[in-house]
Amino acid sequence: MLTLHRKEKILRKAGIPVPPFPARRLPLQERHLRDAAKVPQEERDADAEQRAAVQAWRQAVDALHAALAEGRLSSAHPESS
């Protein structure tokens, strides 16, 4: 099974535009990584937003790669269409 990184590389080599990996809305504050430091709600929201954006990005890359693979398969075997 191909990794997402490999799928992204294949898509780029094929000339298919891939959406950029989503950046976190707020820069990570190291002071909140210390033990017993309370993380503000805004920071937790930024983490949740990024997790959702990364999941959407992964789905987009998977869908683009699947479409590319399907296109190659149908062009390699036109009689099966």
pLDDT tens digits along 30-71: 666 666 677 788 888 888 999 999 999 999 999 999 999 988
Q: pTM for the whole thing?
A: 0.73
Instruction: Confirm if 68 and 2 have CB atoms less than 8 A apart.
Output: no
pLDDT score, position 1? 85
Q: What DSSP string runs through 3-68?
A: -HHHHHHHHHHTT---PPPPPPSS---GGGTSTTPPPPHHHHHHHHHHHHHHHHHHHHHHHHHHHH
What tokens were used for 65? Answer: 């790669």
pLDDT score, position 6? 96
Q: Rounded to the nearest 5 degrees, what angle is found at the Cα of 34, between the Cα atoms of 28 and 37?
A: 90
The whole-number average pLDDT for the span 5-12 is: 94
Q: Does position 81 have pLDDT exceeding 60, yes or no?
A: no
